Amino acid sequence: MKTSRLWAWIVFALGALYFIIPLLATFEFSLRIRRDGYTFDAYASVFSDPKFHQTFGYSIVVGICTIVVGILVIVPAAYYVRLKMPALRPIIEFISLLPLIIPAIILVYGYIRLYSSSSWLPLTNSAMGTNILLTLGYVALAMPYMYRAVDTGLRTIDVQTLTEAASILGASQTTIILRVILPNIVVAVLSGAFLTLAIVIGEFTIASLLNRPAFGPYMQNIGANRAYEPAALAVISFLITWAAMGAIQLLARFAPKTAKP
Protein backbone atom coordinates (compact mmCIF):
# COMPACT_ATOMS: atom_id res chain seq x y z
CA MET A 1 0.00 0.00 0.00
CA LYS A 2 2.97 2.32 -0.47
CA THR A 3 1.36 3.85 -3.55
CA SER A 4 -1.63 5.12 -1.60
CA ARG A 5 0.64 6.90 0.82
CA LEU A 6 2.56 8.59 -1.99
CA TRP A 7 -0.75 9.64 -3.53
CA ALA A 8 -1.80 11.16 -0.18
CA TRP A 9 1.44 13.15 0.05
CA ILE A 10 1.00 14.51 -3.49
CA VAL A 11 -2.58 15.66 -2.83
CA PHE A 12 -1.52 17.21 0.45
CA ALA A 13 1.46 18.99 -1.12
CA LEU A 14 -0.63 20.44 -3.97
CA GLY A 15 -3.21 21.67 -1.47
CA ALA A 16 -0.52 23.15 0.75
CA LEU A 17 0.95 25.03 -2.24
CA TYR A 18 -2.43 26.58 -3.06
CA PHE A 19 -2.78 27.80 0.51
CA ILE A 20 0.77 28.88 1.23
CA ILE A 21 1.66 30.72 -2.00
CA PRO A 22 -0.89 33.55 -1.50
CA LEU A 23 0.38 34.06 2.06
CA LEU A 24 4.00 34.25 0.94
CA ALA A 25 3.06 36.50 -1.98
CA THR A 26 1.10 38.84 0.29
CA PHE A 27 3.98 39.08 2.71
CA GLU A 28 6.47 39.69 -0.11
CA PHE A 29 4.19 42.32 -1.65
CA SER A 30 3.86 44.14 1.69
CA LEU A 31 7.67 44.55 1.81
CA ARG A 32 7.96 46.07 -1.69
CA ILE A 33 7.01 49.68 -0.84
CA ARG A 34 10.56 50.99 -1.51
CA ARG A 35 12.30 50.50 -4.84
CA ASP A 36 15.70 49.92 -3.26
CA GLY A 37 14.81 46.76 -1.35
CA TYR A 38 12.52 45.09 1.13
CA THR A 39 11.39 47.17 4.14
CA PHE A 40 8.66 47.09 6.75
CA ASP A 41 7.68 50.67 5.88
CA ALA A 42 4.19 49.64 4.76
CA TYR A 43 3.56 48.28 8.26
CA ALA A 44 4.96 51.47 9.81
CA SER A 45 2.64 53.47 7.59
CA VAL A 46 -0.37 51.35 8.66
CA PHE A 47 0.45 51.52 12.37
CA SER A 48 1.05 55.27 12.31
CA ASP A 49 -2.34 55.96 10.73
CA PRO A 50 -4.67 57.25 13.49
CA LYS A 51 -7.65 55.92 11.51
CA PHE A 52 -6.21 52.42 11.85
CA HIS A 53 -6.27 52.72 15.63
CA GLN A 54 -9.73 54.32 15.71
CA THR A 55 -11.42 51.79 13.44
CA PHE A 56 -9.65 48.81 14.93
CA GLY A 57 -10.56 49.94 18.46
CA TYR A 58 -14.15 50.52 17.38
CA SER A 59 -14.42 47.02 15.91
CA ILE A 60 -12.92 45.43 19.04
CA VAL A 61 -15.47 47.24 21.24
CA VAL A 62 -18.36 46.22 18.96
CA GLY A 63 -16.97 42.67 18.97
CA ILE A 64 -16.94 42.51 22.77
CA CYS A 65 -20.49 43.91 22.95
CA THR A 66 -21.54 41.29 20.38
CA ILE A 67 -20.06 38.52 22.53
CA VAL A 68 -21.79 39.76 25.71
CA VAL A 69 -25.19 40.16 24.04
CA GLY A 70 -24.73 36.85 22.25
CA ILE A 71 -24.04 35.02 25.52
CA LEU A 72 -27.06 36.65 27.21
CA VAL A 73 -29.35 35.65 24.36
CA ILE A 74 -27.99 32.20 23.55
CA VAL A 75 -26.84 30.57 26.82
CA PRO A 76 -30.24 30.64 28.65
CA ALA A 77 -32.04 29.47 25.51
CA ALA A 78 -29.64 26.58 24.87
CA TYR A 79 -29.74 25.62 28.58
CA TYR A 80 -33.52 25.53 28.93
CA VAL A 81 -34.01 23.80 25.60
CA ARG A 82 -31.64 21.07 26.71
CA LEU A 83 -33.10 20.80 30.22
CA LYS A 84 -36.82 21.41 29.88
CA MET A 85 -37.98 21.60 26.29
CA PRO A 86 -36.13 19.10 24.12
CA ALA A 87 -39.10 19.17 21.75
CA LEU A 88 -38.19 22.75 20.78
CA ARG A 89 -34.63 21.77 20.00
CA PRO A 90 -34.92 21.23 16.24
CA ILE A 91 -36.72 24.59 15.85
CA ILE A 92 -34.20 26.57 17.92
CA GLU A 93 -31.34 24.82 16.15
CA PHE A 94 -32.84 25.63 12.77
CA ILE A 95 -33.26 29.30 13.73
CA SER A 96 -29.67 29.45 14.96
CA LEU A 97 -28.50 28.19 11.55
CA LEU A 98 -30.61 30.69 9.56
CA PRO A 99 -27.82 33.31 9.33
CA LEU A 100 -25.82 30.80 7.28
CA ILE A 101 -28.64 30.79 4.73
CA ILE A 102 -29.75 34.45 4.83
CA PRO A 103 -26.83 36.52 3.52
CA ALA A 104 -25.63 39.43 5.67
CA ILE A 105 -26.48 41.90 2.93
CA ILE A 106 -30.15 40.80 3.05
CA LEU A 107 -30.23 41.18 6.84
CA VAL A 108 -28.77 44.68 6.79
CA TYR A 109 -31.05 45.72 3.92
CA GLY A 110 -33.99 44.52 6.01
CA TYR A 111 -32.69 46.44 9.03
CA ILE A 112 -32.32 49.65 7.02
CA ARG A 113 -35.85 49.35 5.65
CA LEU A 114 -37.39 48.24 8.96
CA TYR A 115 -35.56 50.37 11.54
CA SER A 116 -35.05 53.60 9.59
CA SER A 117 -36.05 57.06 10.73
CA SER A 118 -39.75 56.77 9.92
CA SER A 119 -40.33 53.35 11.47
CA TRP A 120 -41.73 52.35 14.88
CA LEU A 121 -38.22 51.66 16.20
CA PRO A 122 -36.00 54.30 14.54
CA LEU A 123 -32.61 52.82 15.46
CA THR A 124 -30.74 54.41 12.56
CA ASN A 125 -31.64 57.93 13.72
CA SER A 126 -28.73 58.26 16.14
CA ALA A 127 -25.15 57.04 16.13
CA MET A 128 -25.79 55.05 19.31
CA GLY A 129 -28.89 53.47 17.82
CA THR A 130 -26.92 52.47 14.72
CA ASN A 131 -24.14 51.06 16.90
CA ILE A 132 -26.76 48.94 18.67
CA LEU A 133 -28.18 47.81 15.34
CA LEU A 134 -24.66 46.88 14.14
CA THR A 135 -24.04 44.89 17.33
CA LEU A 136 -27.34 43.03 16.96
CA GLY A 137 -26.55 42.31 13.32
CA TYR A 138 -23.23 40.81 14.42
CA VAL A 139 -25.00 38.73 17.07
CA ALA A 140 -27.09 37.33 14.21
CA LEU A 141 -23.96 36.62 12.11
CA ALA A 142 -22.23 34.91 15.04
CA MET A 143 -25.28 32.94 16.15
CA PRO A 144 -24.64 29.71 14.23
CA TYR A 145 -21.13 29.47 15.69
CA MET A 146 -22.01 30.71 19.17
CA TYR A 147 -25.04 28.43 19.52
CA ARG A 148 -23.05 25.41 18.40
CA ALA A 149 -20.19 26.21 20.76
CA VAL A 150 -22.55 26.64 23.73
CA ASP A 151 -24.55 23.54 22.86
CA THR A 152 -21.37 21.47 22.55
CA GLY A 153 -20.27 22.77 25.95
CA LEU A 154 -23.63 21.82 27.50
CA ARG A 155 -23.37 18.35 26.01
CA THR A 156 -20.08 17.64 27.81
CA ILE A 157 -21.47 18.49 31.26
CA ASP A 158 -24.27 16.81 33.19
CA VAL A 159 -26.80 19.65 33.03
CA GLN A 160 -29.56 17.69 34.76
CA THR A 161 -27.57 16.68 37.84
CA LEU A 162 -25.85 20.05 38.22
CA THR A 163 -29.21 21.82 38.08
CA GLU A 164 -30.86 19.45 40.57
CA ALA A 165 -27.93 19.67 42.98
CA ALA A 166 -27.91 23.47 42.83
CA SER A 167 -31.65 23.81 43.32
CA ILE A 168 -31.62 21.40 46.27
CA LEU A 169 -29.03 23.72 47.82
CA GLY A 170 -31.49 26.57 47.32
CA ALA A 171 -30.05 28.30 44.27
CA SER A 172 -32.41 30.39 42.13
CA GLN A 173 -32.63 29.86 38.37
CA THR A 174 -30.47 32.92 37.67
CA THR A 175 -27.87 31.73 40.16
CA ILE A 176 -27.85 28.28 38.56
CA ILE A 177 -27.17 29.68 35.10
CA LEU A 178 -24.66 32.34 36.16
CA ARG A 179 -22.75 30.47 38.88
CA VAL A 180 -23.13 26.80 38.05
CA ILE A 181 -23.74 26.30 34.33
CA LEU A 182 -21.77 29.22 32.88
CA PRO A 183 -18.49 28.46 34.75
CA ASN A 184 -18.75 24.86 33.57
CA ILE A 185 -19.11 25.80 29.92
CA VAL A 186 -16.82 28.83 30.04
CA VAL A 187 -14.27 27.19 27.76
CA ALA A 188 -16.89 26.44 25.10
CA VAL A 189 -18.33 29.94 25.45
CA LEU A 190 -14.88 31.50 25.12
CA SER A 191 -14.09 29.51 21.99
CA GLY A 192 -17.37 30.77 20.53
CA ALA A 193 -16.34 34.25 21.63
CA PHE A 194 -12.98 34.12 19.85
CA LEU A 195 -14.63 32.86 16.68
CA THR A 196 -17.12 35.72 16.95
CA LEU A 197 -14.27 38.18 17.33
CA ALA A 198 -12.53 36.76 14.25
CA ILE A 199 -15.73 37.17 12.23
CA VAL A 200 -16.63 40.62 13.52
CA ILE A 201 -13.28 42.42 13.36
CA GLY A 202 -12.95 42.54 9.59
CA GLU A 203 -16.66 42.48 8.73
CA PHE A 204 -17.45 44.79 5.84
CA THR A 205 -21.01 44.51 4.53
CA ILE A 206 -23.11 45.44 7.56
CA ALA A 207 -20.69 48.06 8.93
CA SER A 208 -20.35 49.73 5.55
CA LEU A 209 -24.09 49.88 4.81
CA LEU A 210 -24.82 51.22 8.30
CA ASN A 211 -22.05 53.80 7.80
CA ARG A 212 -20.12 52.82 10.91
CA PRO A 213 -16.38 53.64 11.26
CA ALA A 214 -15.37 49.97 11.56
CA PHE A 215 -12.19 48.16 10.55
CA GLY A 216 -13.71 46.41 7.51
CA PRO A 217 -14.76 49.58 5.66
CA TYR A 218 -11.41 51.14 6.63
CA MET A 219 -9.53 48.26 4.98
CA GLN A 220 -11.72 48.57 1.89
CA ASN A 221 -10.92 52.27 1.71
CA ILE A 222 -7.18 51.63 2.02
CA GLY A 223 -7.46 48.97 -0.66
CA ALA A 224 -9.02 51.45 -3.06
CA ASN A 225 -6.41 54.16 -2.44
CA ARG A 226 -3.06 52.56 -1.60
CA ALA A 227 -0.80 50.00 -3.24
CA TYR A 228 1.27 48.24 -0.56
CA GLU A 229 -0.55 48.98 2.70
CA PRO A 230 -3.41 46.61 1.79
CA ALA A 231 -0.96 43.69 1.67
CA ALA A 232 0.35 44.69 5.10
CA LEU A 233 -3.25 44.86 6.38
CA ALA A 234 -3.94 41.40 4.95
CA VAL A 235 -0.91 39.99 6.78
CA ILE A 236 -2.06 41.65 10.01
CA SER A 237 -5.61 40.30 9.59
CA PHE A 238 -4.30 36.83 8.92
CA LEU A 239 -2.25 36.96 12.13
CA ILE A 240 -5.30 38.16 14.09
CA THR A 241 -7.44 35.33 12.70
CA TRP A 242 -4.62 32.89 13.49
CA ALA A 243 -4.38 34.21 17.07
CA ALA A 244 -8.13 33.84 17.61
CA MET A 245 -8.13 30.28 16.25
CA GLY A 246 -5.00 29.41 18.22
CA ALA A 247 -6.71 30.63 21.39
CA ILE A 248 -9.63 28.29 20.66
CA GLN A 249 -7.33 25.30 20.21
CA LEU A 250 -5.49 26.15 23.41
CA LEU A 251 -8.75 26.53 25.35
CA ALA A 252 -9.99 23.13 24.21
CA ARG A 253 -7.39 21.52 26.48
CA PHE A 254 -8.96 23.05 29.58
CA ALA A 255 -12.55 21.99 28.94
CA PRO A 256 -14.19 20.38 32.03
CA LYS A 257 -16.23 17.24 31.55
CA THR A 258 -18.81 16.12 34.11
CA ALA A 259 -21.05 14.15 31.77
CA LYS A 260 -21.35 10.43 32.28
CA PRO A 261 -19.64 8.60 29.44
Partner 1 sequence: MAEANTLSDKALGPALAGPATASSGGPFAFLKSIEIGAVLGIAPFVIFAVMFLLLPTMFLIGAAFVGPDGSFTFQNILDLGTPQIVASFWISIRVSVASAVLGVLVGLFIALAVIRGRLPSSVRSAAFTFSGVASQFAGIPLAFAFLSTLGRLGLLTVLLKFVGIDIYRAGFNLLSFWGLTLTYLYFQIPLMILIIAPAIDGLKREWGEAASTLGASNWQFWRYVGLPVLWPNLLGTLSLLFANAFGAIATAYALTGSSLNIVPILLYAQIRGDVLHNPGLGAALALGMIVITALANIIYLVVRARAERWLK
Q: Which is nearer to partner 1, 184 or 205 (CB)?
A: 205
Torsional sign, CA 128, 132, 137, 138: positive
- Rounded to whole angstroms, the Cα distance separating 63 from 55 reads 12
Spatial contact of 20 and 12, defined as CB atoms under 8 Å apart: no
Measured from the CB atom, the residue of 57 and 110 that comes closer to partner 1 is: 110
Q: Could you give the CA distance from residue 136 to residue 12 in angstroms, rounded to a whole number?
A: 40
Identity of the residue, 34 or 84, whose beta carbon is nearer to partner 1 in the bound complex: 84
Query: Site mask, partner 1, residues 175-214, x = CB under 8 A?
Result: --x-----------------x--xx--xxxx---x-----
x/- track of binding to partner 1 for residues 127-166 (CB under 8 A): ---------xx-xx-------------xx--xxx------
Query: Residue 100, Cα to own-chain centre: how many angstroms?
Result: 13
Please give the angle made by the CA atoms of 111, 60 and 256, to the nearest 5 degrees.
100
What is d(CA 229, CA 218) in angstroms, rounded to the nearest whole number? Answer: 12
Nearest 10 degrees: CA dihedral of 202, 205, 208, 210?
Answer: -120
Q: How far is the CB of 28 from partner 1 (least distance, A)?
A: 5
Examine residue 7 and tell whether it contacts partner 1 (CB under 8 A). Answer: yes
Site for partner 1 in 52-91 (CB under 8 A): 72-74, 76-77, 79-86, 88
Question: Contact region for partner 1 (CB under 8 A) — 33-41, 45-53, 55-63, 233-241?
Answer: 233-241
Q: How far is the CB of 60 from partner 1 (least distance, A)?
A: 16
- Rounded to whole angstroms, how far apart are CA atoms 212 and 127? 8
Nearer to partner 1, 61 or 114 (CB): 114
Window 22-51: residues binding partner 1 (CB under 8 A) = 22-26, 28-30
